[in-house]
Amino acid sequence: MNWLLLILTIPYFITLLLIYTHLRGIKKYPNSLKCCIRVSVIIACRNEEDDIRNILADIAGQTYSSELFEVIVVDDNSTDRTFEQSAGFRKISNLKVLRNNGEGKKMAISTGVDAASGELVITTDADCRVGKSWIGTIASFYNKYYPDMIICPVTLGPGKGFFGKFQDLEFLSLQGITTGSAAWGRSTMCNGANLAFKREIFIKHSDNLHYEILSGDDVFLLHSLKNERGSRIFWLESSDATVTASQAETPLLFLKQRNRWISKGRAYNDTFTIFLAIVTFVTSAVQAFTLIAAIFEPEFLPVFLLVFTLKSLPDFLILKNTAGRYGKKKLLRWFLPSQLVYPFYILGVSLSLMAVPLKRKLSSPFQKGT
């Protein structure tokens, strides 16, 4: 049995090491090209009256010519003053503030894309902050390589205590896997808080966004595009293109957010993403089991230590690389305690989803040929 437990963790160990090898080859984009690409920035938001003006102020201060971009805020049925706060912002000349044509973030993004005039669409969230070269860097990268989709970096703002450090480390690991798998040509994840794509690509693949699931406007688009022969999905490595998102304020909000993220996994059809999810779940289960078994039966302690090593080594390498690129090396001191908590967190969130039904099927708001 001990050998079986060890064998179950080997696929995770090998896969994460391969992701790390590709992660090491990432090079920073110098952003030396000037361009005149027409860009549409879409912000889908709900009840964000306290944050929406901050992101709009950041966008108003972009170095990219204001004549070359528009901002489309889509209010998703807010019950506060998000719509009024957005509509009253006067520092962006090409600002559109719209009501969602339906309900949910996917319909809000679709509403924005339908109204967009830009060749390139960039999405972000109302609680994010961006630097002055954000649009210009993404547009320059697009102008140089002309990809169908650009996966851009996202980092979290500072948090407090172990919860804040755990949340930051977990997000860094997701960013590391996102980067490494994209560099490998096996993209698994992306983040709608900082994602760019051709407008025509979104319309073409809008039928595959699974409107019955609240989350996943970003990943379902990625997977649908990935299935298209000849598609070009690139990672953009640049601090100028990085978006800073807010941490979840409480553990309950954090778990609800992760539940939304993981819930979309039941509708995935991308083979590599499914494989990665399975080996992560299995390895987490084995680590949790051997840890508990070692507490009651000391003979399991060597097995737990071997399992812990097989999981932690590639995790640490990916986190060390990513934390270094994001200027967060100090977080690595929290790595070991986080590794002990992480398997139970993964199992808890995953198992809680089994009793949650999917919503009824909804259709794409785009008609074929539009």
pLDDT attached to residue 367: 52
- More reliable by pLDDT, 265 or 344: 344
pLDDT attached to residue 348: 81
**What tens digit of pLDDT does each residue of 87-132 get?**
999 999 999 999 999 888 999 999 999 999 999 999 999 999 999 9
- More reliable by pLDDT, 34 or 319: 319
Domain ranges of the chain: 2-21+271-352, 27-249
- Stretch among 67-81, 298-312, 328-342, 345-359 having the lowest mean pLDDT: 345-359
Give me the mean pLDDT over the 277-291 stretch: 94
31 half-sphere exposure, CB direction, 13 A CA radius: 16
**What tens digit of pLDDT does each residue of 2-28 get?**
778 889 999 999 999 999 999 999 999
Report the 3 state secondary structure along the chain: CHHHHHHHHHHHHHHHHHHHHHHCCCCCCCCCCCCCCCEEEEEEECCCCCCHHHHHHHHHCCCCCHHHEEEEEEECCCCCCHHHHHHCCCCCCCEEEEECCCCCHHHHHHHHHHHCCCCEEEEECCCCEECCCHHHHHHHHHHHHCCCEEECCEEECCCCHHHHHHHHHHHHHHHHHHHHHHHHCCCCCCCHHHEEEEHHHHHHHHHHCCCCCCCCHHHHHHHHHHCCCCCCEEECCCHHHCEEECCCCCHHHHHHHHHHHHHHHHHCCCHHHHHHHHHHHHHHHHHHHHHHHHHHCHHHHHHHHHHHHHHHHHHHHHHHHHHHHCCCHHHHHHHHHHHHHHHHHHHHHHHHHHHCCCCCCCCCCCCCCC
Domain 27-249 has CATH 3.90.550.10: yes
Burial of 230 (0-12, 13-18, 19+ CB in 10 A): exposed
Query: Are the C-beta atoms of 142 and 37 separated by less than 8 Å?
Result: yes
Check whether 357 has a pLDDT greater than 60.
Answer: no
In terms of DSSP bridges, do strands 129-130 and 154-156 run parallel, antiparallel, or are they unpaired? unpaired
